Structure 1
Amino acid sequence: MVQQIRFKILGIPTPKARPRFASFGGKFTKAYKPAIERRREETWISLAAQHIPATPLAGPVKVDLQFTFAVSKSWPKWRKDAALRGWTPHTKRPDVDNLAKQVLDLLTGRWLTRDESVVRLTCTKEYGPAPSTEVVITPLTEVTSKKEYDSLQENYDEDGKTIQKLRKIPPKLRPDREIHQACNGKNQKVCGKTIKRIDN
């Protein structure tokens, strides 16, 4: 499985800008991106270039975004300290959804094959010592074959909770009541052999 990707970009987080429109000859309009917006995106990508995978992730992923803003220099000391401790949430603009939209658009085509692959998204907006954007991309398990399904099924019980497989049981525990307790009353495969339930 592809390893988790994590990186931090220093600088003030910027939201997704609204598209601009220009008319040509009064007959049609065309959307365009301002030059300053393009330069900002190019700078962001260049700062994170070393974390771009050789091949964009194609499977489902979880993305965690943390947007950090600096406290105002005009604030009194107590208010700055409260903000840095998390006691004063960042409730000003930009909106967290627009911040996330900007990052997700930048990730698509470089870190991710398509933005639809993001199935879990967590965003946090807060104050901190220095403005930054932290990105964590975690690949998730995707079952695409019966073989993969069977392999995963061995590690889960009927409730979907993970169970600990018994790799090996010392000879002194076989075949007495302790095996039943270790197996939790269920048949378990140990060293290629099935140990049946042992009643009290």
Structure 2
Amino acid sequence: MISTQTELQRIMNDRKSVRKYKEGVTIPQENLMELVRLATTAPSSSNMQPWRFLIIQDEEAKKELLPIAFNQEQIVQSSATIAVLGDLKMYENAQAIYDANVEQGFMTREIADNMIKNSVNLYAGLPEEALKNVIQFDAGLISMQIMLLAKEMGYDTVPMGGFNKQQFAEHFNLPENEFPVLLISIGEAAAPAYGSSRIPAEQLTRFI
């Protein structure tokens, strides 16, 4: 069976977690904003889009983040680190989100009003731990899109879940309704990433 690799498949195969970056490389803020804008096409629970972003480019801020991120050198070497945050009050945007769906012809006013009511009732009533689980799942979806889009733009990335989340929230003065989920360093690779094997998909999959 002969198959031709698509551009998407190439990007997926080429994306690796890079930990060595060329220092002094600046990514224009408009490029980073375009990256985030494109990534927000990711799906989310009830379309609540609970992700928020803090992009750390300032050299002093990077140095302050370094010990919080357990001294992972990519924090200071890379061009920027995108902190993917979750908003525990994302349901407060339900009205604006579904009003826009009506205005753009995606649904009727009746359906939108029902979705607004159900979304607010559901998410406002969840225990915080359950709500965080929903948000972290959604944050994972957009984080993968960020990394693939970055690769397409010519940049490399590495996701980091290992950092002191409480210290991060305190140091960067996050509002009470926001919490950090993941750090993604981005820049130009100074050394290739290590390759990594994968368990064959046939060993991971069952059909019924």
Q: Structure 2 length normalisation: TM-score? A: 0.24
Counting helix residues as a fraction of each chain, which structure ranks higher? 2
Bigger CA radius of gyration:
1
Counting strand residues as a fraction of each chain, which structure ranks higher? 1
Q: Structure 1 length normalisation: TM-score? A: 0.25
